Each structure stands twice: as C-alpha cells, then as structure tokens.
Amino acid sequence: MSKLILTQDVTGLGAPGDVVEVKNGYARNYLIPQGYAVAWTRGGEKQVESIKAGRAAREHATIEEAQDLKARLEANPVKLVVKAGAEGRLFGSVKTGDVADAVAAAGIGSIDKRLVELVAPIKSVGTHEAILKLRDGIVATITLQVVAAK
C-alpha cells in the first residue's frame, strides 16, 4: 500500500489535501502520472496545509451562500453555444471550463472549473447534466442546453 497526498479531487477517494492509502499499482500507474496525487513524506505536512488553504479559497465562503447558489443553478438551465456539424455532433467536446464560463455568462454566479464534473463526455447538441461540488456536502446538478452556433 502507498500513502499519498491528493492534489485534486478524486471521486470515491478524497479531496485535495487528503492523505490516503491506495494500492501500489493504482498510485504508480494512475494517480501520480495523472497529477492527482504526490507521494506522502514526513515533510509533506506543509504541502497538505497549502493544498487545503487553496481548496478553502476556491470554496464558497459560507454554507448559506453555497446553498443559495445551488438553488439558482438547479432552477435555471444553462445555455451553452458551441460549434457543431450538420448532424449535431460537436467539433471537439465540452470541457469543464466551458461549463464554468457558461454559468458566469448566464449571470448565475462565478464558479471555478475545478468544481465542475461532467457526468459523461458531451459530444453532441441537446440536454446534458453536469455536477458542481460547491462545498463539502453541497452538490448541485445543473442542466446544460448545448446548442449549435449559427
């Protein structure tokens, strides 16, 4: 088993700054090469604190603000205009940064792209869902209306 410090949110494992133990192969072949984690060391406590401080800065200040933003996000579908072909297939795919920009453009609020998690890759026009992790325990599911640019 390898002891690691997570640098990004990993679904089912933990949040940035968490110290976790995983199997050696999972750490060596996936988490460390993808940049999701770094090896734990005795001097890593300072690194854990800086990661947690950065995470706290990205989170919304209070639980009430996060719940208010969640209510606004879930009440209003977000329109996302992208380049698409004749059959509705996108040129590329929708990224988390595109979703964050669309939420800001809709006037709902500003969110960090690292808080966005796409349920499935978005490669066609239509209605899709995305998950926003606003705070620990506060997760909003938003509806994205992906339309082709004219």
As for how many domains the chain has, the answer is 2
Q: Looking at the structure, do residues 95 and 137 belong to the same domain, yes or no?
A: yes
Q: What is the pTM of this model?
A: 0.62
Domain ranges, residue 108? 63-148
Q: Return the SS3 of 13.
A: coil
Q: How far apart are CA 148 and CA 53, in angstroms?
A: 39
Reported as a pLDDT band with limits 50, 70 and 90, residue 56 is low
Domain stop point among 24, 39, 58: 58
pLDDT, tens digit, 9 for 90 and up, residues 11-41: 888 878 888 999 999 999 999 999 888 888 8
Q: Looking at the structure, do residues 41 and 83 belong to the same domain, yes or no?
A: no
Q: How far apart are CA 17 and CA 55, in angstroms?
A: 8
